[in-house]
Amino acid sequence: MASSSRASTTSPVRIFSRVCASKLSKNAKQVIANVCARTRVRFPVKSVLEVLSVVSEDTGVSHRTVAKLKAECLRWNLVSPKRRPRDVTISSLRTITHDSVTVHAIRLNVKSMYAKREIPTLDSMRKAVHEDDDLPNFTKTTLWRLMKDMGFTYDRRIRNLGIIVWRRRYLRAIKEFRRQGRGESLMNFPAMCVLSVVAALFTRVNWQSWSVDTFLSSLLALLHAAPIPRKGFVTAFQSKLCFLVVWFVCGV
C-alpha cells in the first residue's frame, strides 16, 4: 500500500518530451481529451480529481496540464499553439556565412541582367552562379534565402516576356516617331481607320440589311480612298486585325 501511494505522488512517465500546455498540438490535445472522456465513462463513480489522475498516468502528461486541457475543451475548440518566429542572430545570417566576394559576385550578376534588359529570375540566377567557377553551387532554396538576406525582394511576375518585349518595342517606336515629329497617332492608323469607316457606314445606311459582300466592298472602297501616311505602313498583322474587326461587326 505504501508503494502504491508513493507511486501516485511521483510524476507520471512522460510520453512527450518537455511537454506543457502551450506546446501540445491540436491532435495531441484531442487524444488527451478522448482519453479523459473514455476514462470518465469507465469510472463513473470516481471524482473529477481521480479521473484526472488516471488520465495523467495513462497519457504521461502532468495533472495540471490535463486540468488546463479539460477547461479549454469546455470553453472553446481545441487549437494548435502559434508558431513563434525563429530568433535569427547576426552570426547565423548567410551574408556572414559566405564571404564578401560571393555576395558581391551575386549582386553583380543581378545588375548585369538589368543592364542587358533582362528580368532576373531565380532559375536564371542559379544558372549564372553555377556557370561561374569561382562561386559555390547553391540549391534553389539556399540561393533564394541568401538573396533575401542581401536585401533583394521576390516579386511574382504577372506578365510574360513576350508582352514586355512588345511594350519596350512600342515605347521605342513612339520615341522615334516623336523625334521625327510625326507623333504616335500614326501607329494606330489602321485601327482608327477601321473604326471611323464602320462608324461612317453605321450612320449612312441601314447596315443590317446589307450582305457581307456589299459591306466589305464599301469598306474596301473607303479604305482605298483614305490617305495612307507612307508606303508599306499597314503590316500583315494589322491587316488581319482589321479583317477580324470587320468580320465581328458583320456577324453581329
What average pLDDT does this structure show over 74-83?
64
Other beta carbons within 10 angstroms of residue 247's beta carbon come to 11
What is the C-alpha to C-alpha distance for residues 47 and 7, in angstroms, rounded to an integer? 20
3-state secondary structure 171-228: HHHHHHHHHHCCCHHHHHHHHHHHHHHHHHHHHHCCHHHCCHHHHHHHHHHHHHHCCC
Residue type, 22: S
Lowest mean pLDDT among 50-54, 100-104, 159-163: 159-163
What is the C-alpha to C-alpha distance for residues 108 and 76, in angstroms, rounded to an integer? 55
The predicted structure's pLDDT at residue 58: 77
pLDDT at 51 over 70: yes
The predicted structure's pLDDT at residue 157: 67
Instruction: Tell me the three state secondary structure of residue 133.
Output: coil
The predicted structure's pLDDT at residue 231: 43
What is the C-alpha to C-alpha distance for residues 177 and 185, in angstroms, rounded to an integer? 9
Residue type, 205: V
Helix H or strand E encompassing 47: none
> Measuring CA to CA, how many Å separate 240 from each of 74, 99, 108, 201, 245?
71, 57, 44, 20, 9
- Nearest Cα neighbor of 22 from 75, 54, 61, 74 is 61
- Grid cell, residue 85, equals 518566429
The predicted structure's pLDDT at residue 245: 55
- Nearest Cα neighbor of 135 from 93, 100, 96 is 100
What is the C-alpha to C-alpha distance for residues 92 and 107, in angstroms, rounded to an integer? 20
> Measuring CA to CA, how many Å separate 127 from each of 122, 137, 138, 141?
9, 10, 10, 14
DSSP per-residue letters across 8-41? HHSPPPPSSTT--TTT--HHHHHHHHHHHHHHHH
Cα dihedral 113/114/118/122 (nearest 10): 60
- Grid cell, residue 24, equals 501540445
The predicted structure's pLDDT at residue 120: 85
- Grid cell, residue 27, equals 491532435
What average pLDDT does this structure show over 131-146?
86
The predicted structure's pLDDT at residue 199: 52
48 pLDDT band, cuts 50/70/90, is confident
Per-residue pLDDT of 217-242, as tens digits, reads: 665 565 555 444 444 444 454 555 55
pLDDT at 202 over 80: no
Per-residue pLDDT of 147-195, as tens digits, reads: 888 888 887 766 666 677 777 888 888 888 888 877 555 555 555 555 5
45 pLDDT band, cuts 50/70/90, is confident
Q: Average per-residue pLDDT in the chain?
A: 68
Per-residue pLDDT of 14-39, as tens digits, reads: 555 544 445 677 777 778 888 888 88
Q: Where are the domains of the chain?
A: 2-75, 90-149, 183-251
User: pLDDT: is 208 or 99 the higher one?
Assistant: 99
